[in-house]
Structure 1
Amino acid sequence: MQSHVQALVAIAQVFAQELGDASLFQRLMGAPRDNPLLRWQEALRQAEALIGALDFAAARDLLTRVLPEVEGLQGSGVEALLPITLGRIGECHFELGEAEQALPYMQQALALCEQAGDAEGVQIYLGNLFEAHRWLEQREAAAACARRLAELAADPAVQRRRLRRAARVAAGEPRNRVLAVIDGAPHELDELQSLATGHVRFVFERDRITLRRATAATEAGEARGGEGEHAEALAHFERAAAADRHDPHCRYQAAFTLLHLRRYAEAEAAYAEVEGLAPGWFHCRSDRWLAGQLAAGAVAHEIFLVAHALQDGPMAPEEKLHLSEGALTAAPRLALLHLLRGKQLVQLGREAEAVAAFRAGLAGDGESDVYSRLRVELANCCEDPQERAGLLRDAQRPGGNLIAAATAHCSRSLPRTNRILAVNARGSTPARSPPMSPDR
């Protein structure tokens, strides 16, 4: 029978490819409306397009309607399509913030892949389940997925990282922490002493991945904000927050936008929300303090605009230095301005003046986030080894800037020849776990 079918298919291929007549193929397969597998494949194609457009609700509903139609079908086509369909439904639920509803679909997809011996599918759905359990703060279930993923890892280094992650998740991972990336590989800060060479880059790692609709809306808001359209940007950030109740970054950007709109009290509240979701997220601590100063009238709006230009603007160091010195005549005790002025002096090779600027900042008005950054900058310039060690130690106090604390830790752990790159205040993309696979 197999030989007979193969011969029929071969003849149909000759007619379709050589003679331009696909009617024999159509007779073999039947019309799409009469073939449930073809209808199923078409539904999956439509769902893929909807998912690509971030219309997860429509994709979920489309695929959910398909399941009763294919119930009872058997064969290799079903074995191939069913886990993908179930996985996609689970993914759509998850991306809609419905992690609880996603679990049974992901679990069924995993079970089918295990039965079929599909190793790639097993890894993908274990990863998806891990993220869903993390989202729901189901520690032991998430840790169990991480342990199973560790067992499947061929690379001993990957296996060790996954086992450490499983232990951390089981114990209760922080809302936000810092990882060191060296030569493209992530490392915990306590692993740095054994790593003698390489460039170091710091990234954030949250306890949840960001949902894709929130990411897209945040990116749209950042684009509008970059064009100076702050009201429109804020609307995008609010849509992002509605799409992902746990995402700190859209709220962080909303708070920054509210400062531009002179809605200082709302900005201060938004920064407080960011701190609750991801303690130490970028500059949320110092920005929150600044929002309070603006709300109280202790700092003028023009000083905020100058600080923003100094931190994120494209000007040359000479221009920034001139701008910072002008602002300091209006706000001579603002520690943030001394920090930003000192950094320009370092860029210009005027280290003695930079040291004086950093010391003035530490004696000025600010809070722990800015003071920790000042200590790291001063430690990089000062010559006294004891003072340097003390500054780096103090920069790691709780409540300061997480990147500054990681930099201080790294500076104490690694040779001074290593290059350390910190993430930007607003321009860098936070680290996140891999998104749910587009192939499953």
Structure 2
Amino acid sequence: MFNKRLPLLLTSLIVFFVMFGFGLLLQLKLRELGASLLMVGLLTTVRGAVETLGSPAWGAISDSLKRRKPLMIVLVLTSALLYFAYSVIEIPLVFILFSALIAFFTAGFEPIAMALSTEHSRDSVRNTSRELSILNTANSMGMLSGRLLLSMLLVFFTVTQTINWYATIAFLAVIPALFLRDQEHTVARRKGFLNRLFPLKQDSSPLWENGLWAVYVGTFLRQLGTAGATSIIAIFMTERIGLSASATAIITSVNPFMQIFSHIFFGRVMYRIGPRKSTLIGIGLTIFTMLFFAMAQSWVLIALGYFSLGIAFGAFINGAGTMISLSSPPERRAEFLGLLRSARAIGFMVGPLLAGTVAEYSYFVMFIMMASLIAAGGLIVIVFTKDRLITS
């Protein structure tokens, strides 16, 4: 079974290795180009707007194909080819617009990978949570190794040179993708171009069953808070706390390091505590992260915040992903998993813009605001999701 998973896990590891490295690199590159904090936040906002539409659309397209593998290879290869342009663009606005183009192609990877992972889990909480936790562990290992390498490269190379290193590594993801074992799956057939790209237009009923919509709203508010805070955290750490770019990369790597253990732990206990409770644990720990950031006067509380955030993500994403996988029609699974990415992408879109605006006046107020919005998302999940959603 592990050998069957290995190509997908390796592909996902490399993809997240590159994406997580670029998350910090692009902030630093924009700052080098003279961009304001608001414009740095706008980078994530624009990317989030594109991913909001791109993720469920790519998911729906993969649902309509008998095999998902060819589409995944095309998306991974196209993204790798485009990454090199980051090193030559010198105008901040053009840089942001080009990042939107890349985001359009990268948006399709996660829902397709999650659908491939859960394709044969037989709609079981134990099997679904296990497969997603293994995939998410590979993702987090990619994030961790991506940040660790980034911290070393920034000691010896400029930001622009490091961008070229990561663009080169992105091509490696294509190799294991060629060996994916992709069986034919149930195909969703729809009439009309828009219905094929956005099936919710034709049938949105699964959203209202068992309060599934509340999972997406809670996801949006949690991501709004985390994306808002982390979209300018590199600037906060280097300019306010006084850390170097290399030290910043090392401290932020605490997050994916803890995610590895969190994915494994919550993947094992999910069938006992239920995905709903796991999701709420993740939201609660994320609130603590914002409070640690708000009180930080040195690297210590920031590191504790990233420690909490790593545990939180494993609890949250495995819980929410399992809830959605079990509650969506099998022939529309990638679409609804794509909506999970979309909910997070909308948070990516709104959070940085809000955080960048508030942080111009006060980082403390910004972190507290993010914590409050995350708490509101947790309350919505508590009130509107139903117990039968977690016992499927």
Q: What TM-score do you get using the length of structure 2 for normalisation?
A: 0.25
Q: Give the number of the structure whose residues are more often helix, by fraction.
A: 2
Q: Flag the structure with larger Rg.
A: 1
Q: Which has the higher contact order (CA 8 A, sep 6+)?
A: 2
